[in-house]
A = this chain, B = another copy of it.
Amino acid sequence: MWQAARMDLHPALAPLAGLLGTWRGTGHGVYPTIDPFDYGEEVTFAHVGKPFLSYVQRTWEPDSGAPMHSELGFLRATGADRVELVIAQPFGATEALVGTVEDGRLRLRSQAVVTTPTAKRIDAVERDVTVTRDAQGPVLRYDLRMAAVGEPMTHHLAAELRPGD
Can you name 6 A-B pairs with beta carbons within 8 Å?
Answer: A3-B67, A70-B74, A72-B74, A76-B118, A88-B88, A98-B116
Task: A49 to B116: give the CA distance in the assembly, Å.
Answer: 21
Judge if A48 is at the interface, Cβ distance under 8 Å. Answer: yes
Name the one of B1, B54, B91, B94 contacting A114, with C-beta atoms under 8 angstroms. B94
Q: 1/0 per position for A108-145, CB-CB distance to B under 8 A?
A: 00011011111000000000000000000000000000
A2 and B88 contact, CB distance less than 8 A: no
Give the residues in chain B near A87, CB-CB below 8 Å: 88, 94
Judge if A78 is at the interface, Cβ distance under 8 Å. Answer: yes
Copies of this chain, complex-wide, total: 2
Judge if A58 is at the interface, Cβ distance under 8 Å. Answer: yes
Classify chain A's interface size: 35 or more
Most-contacted residue by chain B among A52, A60, A114 (CB, 10 A): A114
Judge if A29 is at the interface, Cβ distance under 8 Å. Answer: no
Given known contacts A3-B67, A42-B1, A118-B78, A86 and B84 CB-to-CB distance under 8 angstroms = no
Task: A146 to B61: give the CA distance in the assembly, Å.
Answer: 40
Task: A78 to B98: give the CA distance in the assembly, Å.
Answer: 30
